[in-house]
Amino acid sequence: MSAVPQALADLKVLEFGGYAAGPHIGKVLANYGARTIHVESRERPDGFRIQYPPFKDNRPGYNRSGCFAFFNDSKYSVTVDLKKREGIALAHRMAQWCDLIIENMRAGVMERLGLGFATLAELNPRLIMLSTCNMGQTGPRADQPGFGSQLSALAGLCGLTGMPDGPPMLLYGPYIDYIASIFGASAAMAAVIRSRRSGKGALIDLSQYESGLMFMGAALHDFFATGHLAERCGNDDPDAVPHGAHQCSDGEWVALSCWSEEEFGALVQLIGHPELVRDPRFATAASRRSNANALDALVSAWTAGRSAEAVAESLQVVGLAAYPVVTMAGLFRDPQLFARGQFRVRRHPEMGDHAYCFPGFDLTEAPGDIIGPAPCVGADNAFVFRDLIGLSEDEYEAYRQSGVFD
């Protein structure tokens, strides 16, 4: 890690909730130095700790989940029983300590717990609270629970994935939650910047559904403007042809696209068919689109004799966009991702060495990092409550004996 203090070294963040959409915001901020505390309880730990594989060595356990690890590296974990009056009192103390609260419970739950924004803002007028849930805090379906893996379908993303004559396709995991969470990181930072400049707090209502629609903005604009109904079309593109994935000699696939006459000329030269630029089937972009299957067959015949890496490299040399379709194992071998340090191994007390994923951006002069592994449940109770929140020994012991934490 750089000797330069990280960009968010003085930012204090508290998270209530679990799974993906809330914790991923905190993870991103933690990677740039924010002190981020993930609040759980022994009775109800983050669902990602126990409900979904992968688990280290395929053995489930609170501290063995790769799913939880993905969303929670570089944070502290505390356990607070929010069903106890004393637990709420401790949460109020924590709210006075922090700059930002991120919560992704169902709409209204924080208020019912006594942790609504109005209550906490009285204790900390500079407080930012970001509330993120499926539908947002208002509206006729505000109370609808949901997971991102399904919300991606409601937002139209799954319906636009797959072949025209086949079913919709799943986007892996809670895809839409990552859109909302990276939007949430921006909204939270904007509010924190204003808070530091003006002393004003803010309540941010972030709908994961609406966030996902921002990635559908063009299709929606087109529908409003023309009535055109976007449909899934495999890998086709309205401008580029060829534009698709082709299997190679090593069984891997390569993605490539051709955006101009010049690029098409370079492609057919490379694949050994320079005469195709004069072939009436392929002489113009329109004719190439009409004969796309025949053209794809010619390209596939060429890629079938070479590895995906070799195909991509040779296409790039002649000025075409191309890249192997990187598999999950391939992510760890990809030279470009390796050079960026995309995956960074940190040692977890129970999982051992594990590769954590870094965000897609970095600050050149104050770089971020995977500060540490995902925390074991409640591992930081003593440090957080005593050293960060500032409980006295008597207060700490009183909370512990009341069963707020162990």
Partner 1 sequence: MLLPDVLIVDATDRLGWLAGRLLADLGAEVIKIEARGSDRSSSQWRACNVNKRVLELDPEGAAEHQRLDELIHAADICLLTPGSSALSPRLDPAVLRKDYPRLVVVGITPFGREGPRSHWKGTDLEIMAAGGAMALAGEPGGMPVRVSEPQSYGWAGAQAAAGALIALYRRDATGKGDLVEVSGQACVVTALSHAPAFVDLNGIEPTRAGAFITGRSIKGARYRVFWPCRDGYINFIFYGGVAGRRTNAQLVAWMRERGAELGVLADIDWKSWDPTKADQAEVDAIEAPVARFLSGISKREFLIEGHRREMLGYPVSTVADIASDPQLEVRGFFQSVAGSRERFCGSFAVIDGERPALRHAPGEPGAFAPPRRRAGGPG
239-258 residues near partner 1, rule: CB under 8 A: 240, 243-245, 247, 253-257
Q: How far is the CB of 385 from partner 1 (least distance, A)?
A: 27
Q: For partner 1, which is the closer residue by CB, 284 or 327?
A: 327
Candidates 187-195, 271-279, 388-396, 398-406: pick the segment binding partner 1 (CB under 8 A): 187-195
The most distant pair of C-alpha atoms in the chain lies apart, rounded to whole Å, by: 86
CA separation for the pair 30, 129 (Å, rounded) = 17
Q: Which of residues 255-274 bind partner 1 (CB under 8 A)?
A: 255-257, 259
CA separation for the pair 207, 216 (Å, rounded) = 15
Tell me the CA distances in angstroms from 244 to 19, 230, 341, 364, 366, one per residue in order.
34, 19, 29, 34, 39
22 contacts 104 by C-beta, under 8 angstroms: yes
Identify the residue among 119, 359, 400, 402 touching partner 1 (CB under 8 A). 359
Bond before 54 cis per omega within 30 degrees = yes
Candidates 67-75, 269-277, 287-295, 394-402: pick the segment binding partner 1 (CB under 8 A): 67-75
Residue 140 is a binding residue for partner 1 (CB under 8 A): yes
Residue 62 is a binding residue for partner 1 (CB under 8 A): no
Residue 401 is a binding residue for partner 1 (CB under 8 A): no
Q: How far is the CB of 57 from partner 1 (least distance, A)?
A: 7
Q: Which of residues 289-348 bind partner 1 (CB under 8 A)?
A: 316, 319-332, 334-337, 339-340, 342-343
Amino acid (one-letter) located at 263: E
Candidates 35-43, 200-208, 384-392, 395-403: pick the segment binding partner 1 (CB under 8 A): 200-208
Q: How far is the CB of 153 from partner 1 (least distance, A)?
A: 4
Q: For partner 1, which is the closer residue by CB, 214 or 398?
A: 214
Retrieve residue 314's tokens. 């040779």
Pairing state between β 253-257 and 321-324: antiparallel
Helix (H) or strand (E) holding 309: helix 308-317
Candidates 66-74, 267-275, 379-387, 390-398: pick the segment binding partner 1 (CB under 8 A): 66-74
Retrieve residue 291's tokens. 């004969």
Candidates 7-15, 72-80, 268-276, 392-400: pick the segment binding partner 1 (CB under 8 A): 7-15
181 contacts 21 by C-beta, under 8 angstroms: yes
Identify the residue among 235, 291, 307, 402 touching partner 1 (CB under 8 A). 235
Identify the residue among 219, 310, 376, 388 touching partner 1 (CB under 8 A). 219
DSSP 18: -
Candidates 73-81, 84-92, 178-186, 286-294: pick the segment binding partner 1 (CB under 8 A): 178-186
Retrieve residue 123's tokens. 């204790």
Residue 357 is a binding residue for partner 1 (CB under 8 A): yes
Q: What binding mask, one character per residue, do residues 97-136 give for partner 1 by CB under 8 A, x or -?
A: --------------------------------------xx
Q: Which of residues 21-60 bind partner 1 (CB under 8 A)?
A: 28-29, 32, 47, 51-58, 60
Residue 224 is a binding residue for partner 1 (CB under 8 A): yes
Burial 224-251 (b: 16+ CB within 10 A, else e): eeeeeeeebeeeeeeebbbbbbbebeee
For 204-233, the DSSP string reads EEEEHHHHHHHTTHHHHHHHHHH-------
How many residues form the binding site for partner 1 (CB under 8 A)?
A: 153
Identify the residue among 30, 103, 115, 183 touching partner 1 (CB under 8 A). 183
Q: Which residues contact 256 (CB under 8 A, 6 or more apart)?
A: 242, 243, 244, 246, 267, 299, 311, 312, 315, 320, 321, 322
Identify the residue among 21, 82, 127, 179 touching partner 1 (CB under 8 A). 179
User: Which residue reads 């990635």 in tokens?
Assistant: 215
Q: What are phi and psi of 92, to 5 degrees?
A: -65, -40
Identify the residue among 115, 204, 370, 391 touching partner 1 (CB under 8 A). 204
Q: Cα 277 vs. chain centroid, distance in angstroms?
A: 43
Residue 163 is a binding residue for partner 1 (CB under 8 A): yes
Q: How far is the CB of 397 from partner 1 (least distance, A)?
A: 32
Identify the residue among 76, 209, 385, 405 touching partner 1 (CB under 8 A). 209
275 contacts 267 by C-beta, under 8 angstroms: no
Tell me the CA distances in angstroms from 16 to 59, 79, 161, 198, 260, one per residue in order.
27, 11, 33, 26, 51
Q: How far is the CB of 200 from partner 1 (least distance, A)?
A: 9
